[in-house]
Amino acid sequence: MLRTFIYDTLIADGAMPSSVEIAAHFSVSKPDALRALREMKVGKTVLPNPETGEIWMAGPFAAAATPYVLRAAGRRWFANCAWDMLGVATLVATPVDIETQCTDCGDPITMHFEPQDQSLGTELLVHFLLPARQWYDDIGFT
């Protein structure tokens, strides 16, 4: 139920729910909401911030602003990386405009994604610094 609430809120509002919002929704205290986030057993999908306990990321969504921005119908989402940017575009199931930048030269990159055809209408190359098997060794770096 908690994971469903997190993703439903995130997709509908374009913002990660806070522990206060989670507490209010489930009629529990904020410390109980933070504990529930810490104790979620969903692999590496929802990760709390190690310092605050608030949601740090709910893969593929980032809780804080990143260079990977997606917009649709007045909502804005941030992705953790280029790979997650494509995951967000798919999960929100609506046409999105994507804004990012080339990590090599800094040039802006914009794309439009249509979920019906799963096409970005462009040819781009994504470079990953680490092999996928090492991504979760230090997810903050990855």
Number of domains in the chain: 2
Look up the CATH number of the domain holding residue 67: 3.30.450.410
User: Nearest 5 degrees, angle CA 67-CA 140-CA 71?
Assistant: 30
| 50 shares a domain with 88 | no
pLDDT tens digits, residue range 6-26? 999 999 999 999 999 999 999
pLDDT tens digits, residue range 56-109? 999 999 999 999 999 999 999 999 988 899 889 989 989 999 999 988 889 999
Residue-range definition of the domain harbouring residue 30: 2-58
| 39 shares a domain with 87 | no
Look up the CATH number of the domain holding residue 53: 1.10.10
Q: Is the pLDDT of residue 140 over 70?
A: no
State yes or no: cis peptide before 50, omega within 30 of 0.
no
| 135 shares a domain with 88 | yes
pTM: 0.82
CA distance 66 to 63: 9
pLDDT band at 51 (very low <50, low <70, confident <90, very high): very high
| 123 shares a domain with 66 | yes
| 138 shares a domain with 101 | yes
| 125 shares a domain with 115 | yes
